[in-house]
Amino acid sequence: MTGPSVEARCLAIASLTDMEAVQEQVLKELAELTGAQSAALWVAAERGPLRLRAWRGLTDRSQLPEVVDATLVQQKVWRAGASLLVPLTTGAAEVQGLVQLGEPIGGAFGDEHLAATQLMGQFAAISLKTAGRFLALQRQGLRDRDTGAYTLSYFTDYATKEIYKARRYSRSFSLLTFSLDQLTQLKQRLGPPAARQAQQIVLRVLSQIIRDADVVARATDQEFHALLPETDYFGGLMFLRRALSAVQDDEDTKALQQRVPLGLTGGVATFPRDGEDFDELLVHCRRRMEERRGSLHHHLRLGSLGFWEQAELLLGNPKSPRLPDTAGEPSRRGKVADVLFDELQSEIARDLLRDSQSRGLLYMGIGSIRTDLPLVRALEAARPDFGPRVYVLGRRGDLLSHPVLTPVFMEGDERLARHEFLLWLGDGSAYALLQRRGRGATWGFHTSDPTLVEGLVSKLQSEYDLQPY
């Protein structure tokens, strides 16, 4: 071991109180002490397992688990194959983190490294705990007095740091913006106390569903932001759906909306796919909120209807009035070719196999779940790590199981005997086809309106008790 002494390295770690700086210094000192050319750090959160927070050197990010069960971390430094694992534990045996060291310059980690890294691990644990307390105190002093949300100045500073980390570690994060569109009407009709109650409801519900690392702030009386570290666009979209649903289901919301609707709207943008600075991401969030306001789902007021009620209204029949023109994505209904449903199954399957790591939800409803369905046949070629989740709903046919597809058997549901549907909700794309086969022709409705597809998916999940997120 060369360079600074173990004591000097411990003091270098202990002198820091900023969480990000402590994490970087821990990896730096342990790697230099042992001659490790790769290092990774998992840190304890307030709830749940240890989470990957930093890495350096020759580390292959794809080989690192996102989380580590703290109960599996030993109290002493140990070797695992060619790696040296250093627990970051306090004197009270609290696990604050875990460091994995690899690729030693000398070819192997010697016995002389064990006691030194054990001591440094204890100092690192204390420093991480202290940095966590400093961060908590800092956040307490930067909360909005009326709502308990963080101030915009703290939020933008946090976002700037998150952009730096995301660039350095090639990560993504999502920014969400929420707007109380009816706040002015609420204030005029029920007074300022009701407006404050609406703000507090939204922030209270958001605070109940966010993770430890997520941050929520009030930007204006009407607008709120949420930042979700290490969250891709699909994850941000699922959080948005969950947040809007949770607010609507809240008992205080229901009582208030009997008098004036809240008009809560949200939008998502993700770094770096939508932009590389805060302002650019915010522009995308607001644009997507406008798209939601212009959606056919909004114009037809479908939110209070069940899945099949929505489906019948959207399908209509040849005598139904034209669908209203909207500024959102196109939606059409009318006669469709009998082969369209099969062709779309094959086309969607090809797209999913082409980008098999992307996340998404695909629901198909059909009379009978069979092995000869184009979607079923095509997905036989999917890899075991296939990313999208695919569900087929219908009566039991000759397909009982599938490697990447989940059959959902619906015996006796005549609506599935008369209708077929495809619903796709993915990372930046959405599509729905609803169709009713008749004697002379097949009548269908199709759309690429993301908000409308989200609404259909949400109601389908609720109707059949499917996993919502």
The structure's pTM equals 0.74
Provide DSSP, 276-324. SSHHHHHHHHHHHHHHHHTSHHHHTT-TTS-HHHHHHHHH--TTSPPPP
Give the chain's end-to-end CA distance (angstroms, integer). 50
Give, to the nearest 10 degrees, the angle between helix 112-140 and helix 6-14.
10
All CATH 3.30.450.40 domain ranges in the chain, comma separated: 6-140
| Number of CB atoms found within 10 A of residue 153's CB | 10
6-140: CATH, from 3.30.460.10, 3.30.450.40, 3.20.20.140, 3.40.228.10: 3.30.450.40
| Pairing between β-strand 264-271 and β-strand 173-180 as defined by DSSP bridges | antiparallel
Q: How many CA atoms lie within 13 A of 381 on its CB side?
A: 13
Residues 152-293, CATH architecture? 2-Layer Sandwich (3.30)
All CATH 3.30.70.270 domain ranges in the chain, comma separated: 152-293
Q: What are 402's two structure tokens?
A: 């599938």
pLDDT values of the chain reduced to their tens digit, one per residue, 469 residues = 557 888 898 888 888 888 888 999 999 999 999 999 999 999 997 667 898 988 998 888 878 898 899 888 999 999 988 899 999 998 777 899 999 999 999 888 988 889 999 999 999 999 998 888 777 766 665 566 656 678 888 888 888 888 988 888 888 999 999 999 999 998 889 998 888 899 889 988 998 888 878 889 988 889 999 999 989 999 999 999 999 999 998 999 999 888 888 899 999 999 999 998 889 999 999 999 999 998 999 889 898 899 999 999 999 988 888 888 776 668 899 999 989 999 999 999 999 999 888 889 999 999 999 999 999 999 998 988 898 999 999 999 999 889 999 999 998 888 888 899 999 999 878 999 999 987 778 999 999 999 999 999 999 999 998 887 6
**CA gap 242, 209 in Å, rounded:** 8
Contact 120, 29 (CB under 8 A): yes
Provide DSSP, 50-101. EEEEEEEET--GGGS-SEE-GGG--SS-EEETTEEEEEEE-TT--EEEEEEE
Contact 409, 396 (CB under 8 A): yes
All CATH 3.30.870 domain ranges in the chain, comma separated: 307-463
**CA gap 53, 49 in Å, rounded:** 12
Q: What are 155's two structure tokens?
A: 């939020």
**CA gap 365, 348 in Å, rounded:** 14
Name the fold adopted by 307-463. Endonuclease; Chain A (3.30.870)
**CA gap 286, 273 in Å, rounded:** 16
**CA gap 85, 39 in Å, rounded:** 10
Nearest to 187 by CA among 202, 179, 197: 197
Contact 76, 102 (CB under 8 A): no
